[in-house]
Structure 1
């Protein structure tokens, strides 16, 4: 008897569509509440479409049997991040209500500690879920750094861009893609980035104090990335090959 190896992606795809619909609804509510301009609306819609498209593609490739409760929490966070993205884009036209920006960001940061716990409790952890969670976190940090940089200067963008620079560097030096060991310090530094950037953008401290808070975040992030890069370099050296040789071996040849 032949096994049925067909995979029906429709159930999980429907959930991504619901997420996109929730994003559009949130944008509509924000637009009516604060009179959001064209830039904010279009940026929010672009975020919603990009999230739906990339997540749909990833789900088809992973062939997950169900979307899972943890991914639903992360999708909810992505919806909030889309709202924050729209507000930040609109801030170049007029300053958004700080309380609204802080509220959406704070809930997104709080939920960051929920989806992983839900995944462990329900036994629904997956590589896709971990990657989805990471990408939402990274983009939120990027958006917050753009918002804070509008007041403190472009140097703040180093915080939001560092992870993407690391990903780009890994295309040149594939030894950077090796898995890293679990690290409480790495997780703590990553979590602090959002908290410190939110504090700097909440208009609670003086400009000098905000600069100090963001500088602390940047120093911690540089230390964390530097520590990981050093570990990856030493790991590559221990296997008996120079990193450049490993890179040449791993890069596909035409």
Structure 2
């Protein structure tokens, strides 16, 4: 039974990989992706497959749930954003694909709760997809606003790296609504910046993100 369900997960991931290729083909037809962008997209799809498969095995997850499949679809869209950014595409296609990915971000959580399939793997998967999207969008926006915008995409990875040196940063954090709101705002603001929003809006968003990380650091320092 476990083998059969594991094959089901492999089939689900294979369909996602095929969808990634189809998306790349559609973006090529619409925006003229070059070979470097294709290479980036295929490498992203391979890395996504490997990392998700490894995480699912460690979590003992033999089949992806409905919410995980929504997140997987969103991950494929993030791969599309990545290829567009690597290709140096215009703002319109980047904003369009990223907007769809952000809309799906509001779907997987409710789906998980309604179907009773909330899991640590699903939450982590959702978080990692969000992090990659922010990193890619911040790199794109940094092209005209300046390298400081990269801080939006790099802060989370810097936090993880710091946690390897400072164990107390790996402590359990309470659920804070403000942290969720600030995190959600980052993607919206970056897409708005792609569409032409002024730099000060991005700066305010970054300040809120720094404040949110600071709140978490203070809490963990006091609870160490």
Bin of the TM-score, shorter chain as denominator length: over 0.9
Q: Which runs of 5+ in 1 are unaligned?
A: 237-254
Matches within 5 A, 1:200-239: 200-203=193-196, 205=197, 210-236=198-224
- The answer on whether the counterparts of 1:9 and 1:63 sit within 8 Å (CA) in structure 2 is no
The SS at the match of 2:107 is helix
Separation of aligned partners in 2, 1:66 and 1:200: 38
Partner of residue 76, structure 1: 73
Give the equivalent residue in structure 2 for 1:181: 174
Equivalence map 1:69-108=2 (5 Å): 69-91=66-88, 96-108=89-101
The total of aligned residue pairs comes to 224
Q: Which has the larger radius of gyration?
A: 1
Question: Which sections of structure 2, spanning at least 5 residues, go unmatched?
Answer: none
Asked if the contact 1:9–1:60 (Cα under 8 Å) also holds between the matched residues in 2, the reply is no
How far apart are residue 7 of structure 1 and its match?
8.1
Q: How far does residue 99 in structure 1 lie from its aligned partner after superposition?
A: 2.4
**Post-superposition, which runs of at least 4 consecutive aligned residues in structure 1 deviate over 3 A?**
4-8
Segment of structure 1 superposing worse, 140-149 or 58-67 = 58-67
Q: CA RMSD in A?
A: 1.5
1:113-158 per-residue CA deviation (whole Å, 9 max, x = no partner) reads 1101100111001100000000000000000000000011111111
Q: What is the CA–CA distance in structure 1 between the aligned matches of 2:200 and 2:127, rounded to whole Å?
A: 26
Shift of 1:6: 7.0
8 Å contact kept, 1:7–1:63: no
TM-score by length of 2: 0.96
* Structure with the higher helix share, 1 or 2: 2
Tell me the alpha carbon deviations over residues 16-68 of structure 1, each in whole angstroms, 9 at most, x when there is no partner.
11111111110111112222122211111111111011001111111224211
What is residue 18 of structure 2 aligned with on the other side? 21
1:11 alignment partner, one of 8, 11, 23? 8
